[in-house]
């Protein structure tokens, strides 16, 4: 089958790789209908996750049809249309029973290489899904493939970050980073009752996109904190969602925050340690949270919000390309010349 693999730093290739098979009785194999490229894939693309094995498929945003299930899979059968989480969790260990799926002892991420469990990625014609009952998300007819693609990562990650930002109705919320995840965080903050959402980025086109969905755009340059204070009567933002994953944006988030605000970081920090303005956090009594999105616990909510027409993730799709064009698709997305890029299989 064909799959997207990392050929070199900043270069992907579409290669013929071995077909996945059912390996455990709780596995499923799905045939892809489409995949998408995520900002997290860019960390792989830029070589920040290390070298990938030869012929190792990357990618983790997918929608497809169940082709085969192992004998212990209960909730899914061949022919069902599904999306799924970007990681698999066993569903049975202590952490999973507490619904802390990101803390599963057997967690494996799709498409991030050996460091994260070595599970083959989903930018491919087929993918093996471990613990299918916990990993897959059934798609009702009212949810399109393009909407379904967002449930297993980008949208649910944004929702997770926003839910943990302690937003109360009427608050002013800042979202730092207007990539697809940040844009979706703008929408989610509105659903959580934000009176105003201030969106920050360095790329004018991305700011314009955020403005289209109702955010107040602010250029994230050296004067950003000053501008946010000017927009909020000197207070700063009542809650901040960080959706980039860098020292600069994390500390900008702290500088934007009003006293007693929560800064909820969902950006992935490729390096394990960055300096943080702890004095600022102390003076302003800030709460800072960071975390990988607990998709398995949150996706029921985002699926219902999409089904009900309250969230419109599909609006972010700017490019639809065949899987074979993955090299051009990655290059476009990496240059921030595209919103969400879909790879049709």
Half-sphere exposure of 229 (CA within 13 A, CB side): 12
For residue 1, state whether it binds ligand NAD (rule: CB under 6 A). no
d(CA 134, CA 75): 9
Whether 321 contacts 170, CB under 8 Å? no
- Phi-psi category of residue 198: left, alpha or beta, with phi > 0 → left and psi -120 to 50 → alpha: beta
Sheet with 172-176: list strands edge to edge. Answer: 216-219, 196-201, 172-176, 237-242, 257-265, 287-290
d(CA 45, CA 166): 33
Whether 13 contacts 5, CB under 8 Å? yes
Q: Where in 209-228 is the site for ligand NAD (CB under 6 A)?
A: 220
For residue 242, state whether it binds ligand NAD (rule: CB under 6 A). no
d(CA 23, CA 43): 29
Residue 89 binds what, of ligand NAD, Zn ion, none (CB under 5 to 8 Å, by partner type)? Zn ion
Helix/strand/coil for 344: strand
Q: Which stretch binds Zn ion (CB under 5 A): 83-91, 159-167, 195-203, 213-221?
A: 83-91
Q: Which stretch binds Zn ion (CB under 5 A): 19-27, 96-104, 308-316, 329-337?
A: 96-104
Residue 89 vs 175, nearer CB to Zn ion: 89
Residue 243 vs 258, nearer CB to ligand NAD: 243
Size of the site for Zn ion (CB under 5 A): 5
Q: Which of 35, 130, 177, 313: binder of ligand NAD (CB under 6 A)?
A: 177
For residue 40, state whether it binds ligand NAD (rule: CB under 6 A). yes
Q: Which of 293, 326, 341, 343: binder of ligand NAD (CB under 6 A)?
A: 293
Residue 38 vs 139, nearer CB to ligand NAD: 38
Q: Which of 20, 39, 121, 236: binder of ligand NAD (CB under 6 A)?
A: 39
Q: Where in 101-120 is the site for Zn ion (CB under 5 A)?
A: 104
d(CA 111, CA 321): 20
Residue 102 vs 172, nearer CB to ligand NAD: 102
For residue 108, state whether it binds ligand NAD (rule: CB under 6 A). no
Q: Which stretch binds ligand NAD (CB under 6 A): 49-57, 136-144, 196-204, 304-312?
A: 196-204
Please state whether beta strands 61-69 and 28-36 pair in parallel, antiparallel, or not at all (unpaired).
antiparallel
Q: List C-alpha distances in Å: 196 to 177, 186, 211, 310.
A: 16, 9, 11, 17
Q: Which of 129, 143, 268, 341: binder of ligand NAD (CB under 6 A)?
A: 268
For residue 84, state whether it binds ligand NAD (rule: CB under 6 A). no
d(CA 60, CA 292): 14
Residue 113 vs 180, nearer CB to ligand NAD: 180
**What is the secondary structure of 256-287 as a DSSP string?**
HEEEEEEEEE-S--SSS-----HHHHHHHT-E
Interaction site with ligand NAD (CB under 6 A)? 38-40, 42-43, 153, 157, 176-182, 200-203, 206, 220, 243-246, 248-249, 266-268, 292-293, 336
Residues found near Zn ion in the complex (CB under 5 A): 89-90, 93, 96, 104
């Amino acid at each position: 089958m064909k799959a997207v693999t990392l050929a070199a730093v900043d270069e992907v290739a579409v290669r013929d790789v071995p077909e996945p098979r059912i390996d455990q009785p709780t596995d499923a194999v799905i045939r892809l209908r489409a995949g998408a490229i995520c900002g997290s894939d860019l960390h792989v693309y830029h070589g920040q996750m290390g070298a990938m094995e030869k012929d190792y498929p990357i990618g983790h945003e997918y929608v497809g049809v169940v082709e085969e299930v192992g004998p212990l899979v209960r909730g899914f059968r061949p022919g069902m249309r599904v999306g799924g989480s970007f990681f698999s969790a066993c569903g049975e260990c202590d952490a999973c029973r507490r619904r802390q799926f990101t803390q599963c002892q057997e967690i494996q991420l799709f498409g991030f290489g050996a460091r994260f469990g070595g599970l083959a990625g989903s930018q491919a014609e087929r993918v093996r899904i471990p613990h299918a009952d916990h990993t897959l998300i059934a798609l009702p007819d009212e949810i399109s493939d393009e909407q379904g693609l967002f449930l297993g990562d980008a949208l649910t990650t944004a929702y997770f970050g926003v839910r943990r930002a302690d937003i109360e109705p009427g608050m002013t919320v800042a979202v730092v980073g207007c990539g697809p995840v940040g844009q979706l965080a703008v929408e989610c903050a509105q659903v959580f009752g934000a009176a105003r959402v201030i969106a920050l980025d360095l790329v004018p086109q991305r700011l314009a996109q955020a403005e289209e969905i109702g955010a107040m755009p602010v250029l994230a340059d050296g004067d950003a904190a000053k501008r946010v204070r000017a927009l909020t009567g000197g207070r700063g933002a009542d809650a901040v969602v960080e959706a980039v994953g860098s020292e600069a944006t994390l500390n900008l988030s702290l500088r934007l925050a009003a006293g007693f605000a929560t800064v909820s970081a969902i950006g992935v920090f490729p390096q394990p340690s960055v300096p943080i303005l702890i004095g600022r956090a102390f003076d302003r009594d800030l709460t800072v949270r960071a975390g990988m999105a607990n998709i398995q616990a949150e996706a029921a909510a985002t699926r219902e919000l999409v089904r009900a027409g309250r969230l419109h993730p599909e609006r972010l799709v700017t490019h639809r390309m065949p899987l074979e064009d993955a090299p051009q698709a990655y290059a476009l997305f990496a240059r921030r010349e595209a919103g969400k890029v879909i790879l049709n299989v």
